[in-house]
Structure 1
Amino acid sequence: MSIAALKEALPAYAKDTKLNLGSVTTTSSLTDQQLWGAMLACALAARSGRVIAEVSEEAARNLSEEAFTAAKAAASIMAMNNVYYRATHLIGDETYGTLPAKLRMTVIGNPGVDKADFELWCLAVSAINGCGRCLESHEQVLRGSGLPREQIQEALRVAAVVAATAATLEAEAALVAV
């Protein structure tokens, strides 16, 4: 099992990350599609080859082909949107927020899976990428679609644990290479 491989690879000092990785993948209140789509999108956003390989293997067993593709699309579109919207916010001139983005993002309107699931994955990726504007926007859409705060929080937990796993394993790989 690939999550087991990630847990095994984590060093002793990352015991909390290891325990949390087990917890988010076995006790989640999210549906399998929501959970594994978030895991895959977050692995891609965290940019760790090892985490991407291990999570994608397990996600492929738990997602339809359409959901697998949609999770990848969520990571891709948010890689662009998070940079743009975070930058327009951080500049501090509200005029930028009124200008049309002129960025193609049709996948958000037609992701090929339940819109709420896609929005949840976009929210999780936005947490990893640190875009407050996107977090606010996706949270509002999710709350408007009836998703409870507890499930939104669960996606944020997934993002945090996947990001910590990726950071730890990448750091360990760099330390070994020194």
Structure 2
Amino acid sequence: MAFVFFVPLVPLVGVVLAVRRVREGQRRVRRFAVAALLVGCLMTAAQVTAAAIVVPRLLGLMRRSRAAEGPMALGVMRTQIEVRGPERPLPRGDTGWTPSTPCCKRAERRCANKHSAWGHPIWRVLDFRAYGTRHSFQYRYRSADGEHAVFEARADLDCDGVYSSYQLHVQRRRGALGFSRRVERPYE
């Protein structure tokens, strides 16, 4: 793997060696050195241009892949509520944000998925916790009457103080469950 890191430096090394040869070399060697110098400069310029294009796109793709965690969590919560069945009331209460500290303010801008963070009785009743060993979202469940509930997932994916927010609204009515979603700023 270390070799891959140094591959972009190869044209630069060629440029430096070519400059040395041009200064001290014979006529025939100079021509070759000048050609190597031009090729090295062109390759370096091409790599810098490619990096300028690829790096921002890669960072955007990484942010979007982390943003997928929110909708996935809503799907899991919907499944957990459907498994409980429409005949049982929704758990009452408010879990508060879990984990309590935003993931953006932690090391690596991610939260460790500690079992102790999911100790609230509502999380245990719904059998819910974040997926994976590290996650980017905070989660909250609220229900005042057991008939209506809101499950929320939020994250500040680029740590600028603006949150992406995903909400699953659940309504229990006449022996059936109704679901609706609300999304605000999905890639922030």
TM score, norm. by length of structure 2: 0.26
Larger Rg: 2
Which of the pair has the greater relative contact order for Cα pairs under 8 Å at 6+ separation? 1
When you count helix as a share of all residues, which structure comes out higher?
1
TM score, norm. by length of structure 1: 0.27
When you count strand as a share of all residues, which structure comes out higher?
2
